[in-house]
Amino acid sequence: MTTLTLELFTILVTGAAAVLYFVFASFVFGAGYQPTSRSAVARMLDLANVGPTDRLVDLGAGTGAILFRAARERGADVLGVEVEPIRILILWARRALGGPADRVRIRWGNLFDVDLTTTSVVTCFLWPGAMERLKPLLEAQLPAGARVVSHWHPIPGWTPVAVDRPRHVFAYRWTGPTTAPASSSASAGARSSPSLQPVVVNP
């Protein structure tokens, strides 16, 4: 093997390892990396009716596909929580270069540790196992009236208020816990579930 071939091979292997790390390393925390498409972000922000009075949290902010559009186009106060450090650097750079610095907060940490009690909109694009873990946190912390919009994976057991099937967007409105009547045989396992009927949104 010539020196040039060896160098090329080393570059290729290093590059592939870097890509694999960037995309898959965070999988152990709840999801790998894949940015939400522009059209899905637009539909998520529309279905959640995001506006300037909102406090939006993107759980697993990635490189900011949802975060910066919510702040720039909708005027929301946003918090992006991200566990992977290179993406945190990218988020910091994006905020430094384009802002708005006063409305975008970025937290390097675990999304399962975030306080959601003052949040009006939650956005997420996580793997099914993470959605399972997230559900009880949403139910314990979200104020009534909060909206949750998930890309690709629904929240297990919740009824969406709107679904965009082509873009894989599921929108929910948290109405607070509902408790079954005491006489109900299901009362022991009463579930909280937003009760509005689903609307399927066409492309």
Cβ neighbours of 138 (radius 10 Å)? 21
Nearer to ligand SAM, 112 or 163 (CB): 112
The CB-side HSE value for 65 (13 A sphere, CA atoms) comes to 18
Nearer to ligand SAM, 22 or 175 (CB): 22
Q: What is the dihedral of CA 82, 85, 87, 88, to 10 degrees?
A: 70
Supply the minimum distance, in Å, between the C-beta of residue 170 and ligand SAM. 13
Query: In angstroms, what CA-CA distances link 31 with 39, 48, 95, 108, 190?
Result: 21, 22, 23, 15, 29
Which residues lie near ligand SAM (CB under 6 A)? 26, 29-31, 33-36, 58, 60-62, 65-66, 81-84, 87, 110-112, 125-126, 151
Helix (H, G, I), strand (E, B) or coil at 192: coil
Supply the minimum distance, in Å, between the C-beta of residue 93 and ligand SAM. 15
Nearer to ligand SAM, 54 or 82 (CB): 82
Beta strands 147-151; 77-82: pairing state:
unpaired
Nearer to ligand SAM, 74 or 151 (CB): 151
Supply the minimum distance, in Å, between the C-beta of residue 197 and ligand SAM. 27
Tokens found for residue 121: 């909109």
Tokens found for residue 79: 């918090």
Nearer to ligand SAM, 68 or 174 (CB): 68
Residue in the shown chain whose Cβ atom is closest to ligand SAM? 60
| DSSP H helical ranges for the chain | 3-24, 38-47, 67-74, 85-98, 128-141
Nearer to ligand SAM, 58 or 77 (CB): 58
* DSSP H or E run through 157: none
Supply the minimum distance, in Å, between the C-beta of residue 81 and ligand SAM. 5
Supply the minimum distance, in Å, between the C-beta of residue 15 and ligand SAM. 20
Supply the minimum distance, in Å, between the C-beta of residue 201 and ligand SAM. 18
